Amino acid sequence: MYLGIDAGTSEIKALVINAEGDIVASAGARLSVQRPHPHWSEQDPDAWWQATQQAVSALRPKVGAQWSEIRAIGLSGQMHGAVLLDSADKVLRPCILWNDTRSAAECAELTAHTPELHTIAGNLAMPGFTAPKLLWVARHEPDIFARTACVLLPKDYLRWKMSGDKVSDMSDAAGTLWLDVARRDWSDTLLAACGLSREQMPRLVEGSQATGTLRPEIARQWGLSESVMLAGGGGDNAATAVGMGAVNPGDAFISLGTSGVLFAVNDRFRPNPASAVHAFCHAVPDRWHQMSVMLTAASGLRWLCELLGASETTLLAEVAALSQSVQQSAPLFLPYLSGERTPHNDPDACGAFHGLTHASNRAALAYAVLEGVTFGLADGYRVLEEAGTRLSECALTGGGARSPWWAQLIADVLNLPVVTHAGSEAGGALGAARLAWLAAGGDASQVCRKPAEQRRYRPDAGRHQALQPRYRHFQLLYQQQREARMQGY
């Protein structure tokens, strides 16, 4: 048996698979995000650990007597977060999260002062990445920066709590802007640009590599053997790719979670920072990947549900009942509730409804949100194509994958077959469990196979063409917003 733990933004999810790769049981514990100031997004690392304990406690009785057969644990997690520890391993401040956009000025500073950045890291400096967060801390919280002895990513903080080891994997480390992504090693040049050294960084391993074993007290508390090993694991999207069997060049998937990701596997490092495309290491050796990332995806629908006091199930049903003519006249929605990454790299971009009338009911607003997120995915697909990536189909995972209507809309807008797989909602937790299996000696051809196909959504060419005017209008609205901000509005 193999345990996967995914440290998401909204939930800690724990999942167990057996020696055939089948999901035995899963459990989760919810998390909240703190936003004390505009552009800020933070979480208390101790809340992750408490939620992990809750998730494991809830999962254990579901697995029953087989629980003791767990041999390895894999970790997946939200990327880019900065957990700062002092020399006594005390957390110095709340973790600054991936969707925190306070460090835009520091991104400009890092870019201006480090000409090697794009060549080594393969990515633009964006506020979501870890490096500019540390520059912000150095500028605004110099006492904390001076006391920082180690910087850990979210899932690696959980690893440290579980095993005492300060370790990260290549895929997660690639999102810091401190990794030489082609060489899969820390870059002394990029660390020095932030006033740091590799002594303050965790040890690096591949995601399928064993890193250590459980602390004896945690093993006793969880009812597991002290010999249970921990795998390197992966950043959430790379781990999700392992769970989806997306480990070979040409494999691709869309993840509709808090953020929206279009992920494509490569057999070499293929950076294209000019279009805000991410180029990272994969969680398996000798693989890299490209990603387009939008900061608001399924979370946009959750935001609307909270605003309207309606459930997602109800709103999705109302959207599915809308006629084509009502859809064509619905407002347009810019989904930039937390700024945007690909392709705009614009932390100040904001959400907006355009074209509201007295006829705009809540179903029309919900349609606009789903369509706006899908248009954002299309923006990402466009720049991946410009970077030379060609896809023949795309898997779909994440919370948004539960909606057949949304899956069909994505296929129609992208003009690309979309496939859902059994267990795809498990996301990074399944990939983390598979990486644990690999670390325990599993054969990659068996462990990383694609799950059974659940449903295939073929694009409707007529609907694709019908949506193009709205898509062009969507793109124009963003440009108008940006121009207005440049003029001081």
Strands 229-231 and 83-85: unpaired
β-sheet bridge partners, residue 261: 255, 293
> Is 158 in contact with 48 (CB distance < 8 Å)?
yes
Name the catalytic one among 6, 236, 379, 412.
236
80 annotated ligand-binding residue = yes
> Is 52 in contact with 27 (CB distance < 8 Å)?
no
Say whether the peptide bond before residue 343 is cis (omega within 30 degrees of 0). yes
User: Which residue's structure tokens are 């590599």?
Assistant: 209
Distance from C-alpha of 294 to C-alpha of 379, rounded to nearest angstrom: 9
Q: How far is CA 139 from CA 91, 143, 146, in A?
A: 19, 10, 11
Sort 254 into a burial class: Cβ within 10 Å, 0-12 / 13-18 / 19+: buried
Nearest to 22 by CA among 445, 395, 430: 430
Side-chain-facing half-sphere of 84: CA atoms under 13 Å: 24
Q: Which two tokens stand for residue 240?
A: 């999700």
Helix 236-244 and helix 428-439, axial crossing angle in degrees, nearest 10: 80
Q: Which two tokens stand for residue 203?
A: 């040890």
**Which residues, 6 or more positions from 215, have their beta carbon under 8 angstroms from its beta carbon?**
162, 163, 164
The vertex-327 CA angle with 322 and 332, nearest 5°, equals: 135
344 annotated ligand-binding residue = no
Helix (H, G, I), strand (E, B) or coil at 465: helix
Does 236 participate in catalysis according to the annotation? yes
User: Which residue's structure tokens are 């992966």?
Assistant: 234
Distance from C-alpha of 182 to C-alpha of 407, rounded to nearest angstrom: 34
> Is 6 in contact with 12 (CB distance < 8 Å)?
yes
Catalytic residues: 236
Feature table: binding site for substrate: 79-80
Task: Write out the binding residues.
Answer: 79-80
